[in-house]
Amino acid sequence: MRKSGLTLLAAVIGLAAGQASAADLQRRAAPAYVPQAAPPIATWTGCYIGGNVGGIFGNAKADFGSGDRSSDNSGFAGGGQIGCDYQYTGGWVIGFRNMFDGASLSRDRTVRFSTGDHATVSLKNDWFDTLTGRIGYSFAPSWLLYGQGGAVWAKNSADVTFNGSDIGGLSKTRTGWTAGGGVEWMFAPNWSAFLEGNYMDFGSNDRRITTPLLTACASGCAFNTKATAATVLVGLNYRFNWGKAAY
């Protein structure tokens, strides 16, 4: 009888030990907790390429020595840009950019002389190319406020008509300066959009024409043209970042 009781007690102890071991195995088999990776940090460091479209608003003056004639006009502008940026700790960003845009800006000016003669100058701006440096501040992870300035080149042509007779055109690539600024928004990984405004000054250009069609210019007369323009552009950039998250 005593032997049977000992056998039963041993069986109970063995069963309890087996259950404890099984529970311990289950606890050890549970997967370890893996913390989720932190979200990527937005950065403006990298190079980009993109396109833009907008308006150009110009002012041009022509002076034949009898007072100048000035007129304002507006047109379409659109093209592409390429550049690079570098963001410092704290949010400051520096970079450079080259933008090339075609333009549909044209202006006509007519000058009347005391002799009764008149001259008409038709000026066109076919394209402009800007090379600028820029500095900005990322006031929020995906927003950049910036200013920029540098050099601008433009293809200007002038067609001159004396007393209704066209004497041909004059064409020249002019160099000037530009300054402006804008805001850029990184709305998706590697993609950003911007809105900006710029002022361009192409300086003045002296020309001389000799023609029997105009009494005042029979032995040659000089005239001066001066052109300025402003642009308002929206654009889209695709960014190739240097090993960091772009959003």
φ and ψ at residue 237, rounded to 5 degrees = -125, 140
Average pLDDT, the chain: 78
Tell which wins on pLDDT, 201 or 40: 201
Residue 193: per-residue pLDDT = 98
pLDDT at residue 46 greater than cutoff 70: yes
Residue 82: per-residue pLDDT = 98
- Residues 190 and 236: their CA atoms lie apart, in Å, by 11
φ and ψ at residue 220, rounded to 5 degrees = 105, 135
Give the CA radius of gyration of the chain.
Answer: 36
List, for residues 133-170, the tens digit of each pLDDT value: 999 999 998 999 999 999 999 987 767 676 666 655 56
pLDDT-derived band at 115 (thresholds 50, 70, 90) equals: low
Residue 211: per-residue pLDDT = 65
Does this model's pTM top 0.75? My answer is no
Domains of the chain: 46-241 (2.40.160.20)
Residue 247: per-residue pLDDT = 47
> CB of 188 within 8 A of CB of 247?
yes
Tell which wins on pLDDT, 124 or 75: 75
Element (H, E) at 136: strand 118-140
Tokens at 72, concatenated: 């304002």
For residue 238, count other CB atoms closer than 10 A to its CB: 13
Average pLDDT over residues 99-123: 74
Average pLDDT over residues 160-181: 76
3-state SS record for 192-228: EEEEEEEEEEEEEEEEEECCCCCHHHCCCEEEEEEEE
* 3-state secondary structure at position 3: helix
> CB of 143 within 8 A of CB of 184?
yes
Q: Which of 23-27, 103-107, 176-180, 216-220 has the lowest mean pLDDT?
A: 23-27
Question: For the chain, percent helix, then strand, then coil, each to nearest 5?
Answer: 15, 65, 20
Tokens at 147, concatenated: 């200013």
pLDDT at residue 30 greater than cutoff 70: no
